[in-house]
Amino acid sequence: MFGICNLSIVPLRLTASDTSEMVNQVLFGEHFTILEKHKKWSKIKLFFDGYEGFIDNKQYKEIPEESYQLLSDSKQYYAGELIDFITDNKNNLTTIPLGAHLPLFKDKKLQIGERIFTYEGNVCYTKLSKPSIIETAYLFLNTPYLWGGKSPFGIDCSGFTQTVYKLCGHHLLRDAREQATQGEVLSFIEESEPGDLAFFDNDEGHITHVGIIMNDYNIIHAHGKVRIDKLDHSGIYNVDTQQHTHKLRVIKRFI
């Protein structure tokens, strides 16, 4: 069984309950495999990054395998506006956030099941250079931190880096510890360029945080909100509290 998200931003939960922890979000247009289907909840696996979790059965639409394969094999297009809307042929409005998927997009049209929608906003679909990563990251500045979030209304550290890279045509996994398995290791901060990623660990040595390196040893990351702080050999130096908040583990290059 297969499905697609037909609502703007849907929570993906750890277990099959409305009170369960939100571990991720499913944005409009994302398609997935249905691993298990129960009366009220389904366990799904997202196509984009293989992330698994539980979604409310009322918050997605089932699609046939042929549609899933077509979506998987097609070029990926993403909404490039902070917030916008799409309309169907009856002028019903659906809001979509920055980073929403635009399935089978062509000539300002996209398709969810049998429904055809019109979208007239900016579209992201090509691989962009490192300067574009920084420009895109700025779009999320001051977005509140939200565990499991990946939209301009709430985002976590790895949701931020994944979404920024996605909008620039590059693929990152979902969690910071997974993203840290990708890319090329750099030996020193001095080797880094704007657009590279810095990863940070906790006292147990587990990677728990990630941010995007900017010019002049600055870093943009989600901590309380998407913010800009200083980066040094120790880690992140919070410009407001004048204290180090994260311990540097590794710097990686992806582009």
170 labelled catalytic: no
Instruction: Pull the structure tokens for residue 111.
Output: 């398709």
Backbone angles phi, psi at 132, to 5 degrees: -70, -30
Cβ(86)–Cβ(96) under 8 Å?
yes
DSSP assigned state of 247: E
H helices of the chain, in order, are 65-73, 130-138, 157-167, 176-179
134 in helix, strand or coil?
helix
Q: Which of 124, 157, 168, 223 is catalytic?
A: 157
Write out the two tokens for 169: 């045509």
223 belongs to the catalytic site: no
Q: Which amino acid is at 153?
A: F
Which string of DSSP letters, residue by residue, matches 88-130?
ETT--EEEEETT-B-TT-BTTEEEETTEEEE--S-EE-S---H
Tokens of 102: 């635009």
Are 211 and 205 in contact by the 8 Å Cβ rule? The answer is: no
Residue type for position 185: V
Catalytic choice (101, 124, 168, 221) = 221
- Alpha carbons 12 and 148: distance in angstroms, whole number: 8
- One of 101, 209, 223, 246 is an active-site residue; which one? 209
What is the rounded distance in angstroms from the CA atom of residue 174 to the CA atom of residue 151?
Answer: 13
**Could you identify the residue written with the tokens 């390196």?**
213
Active site residues: 157, 209, 221
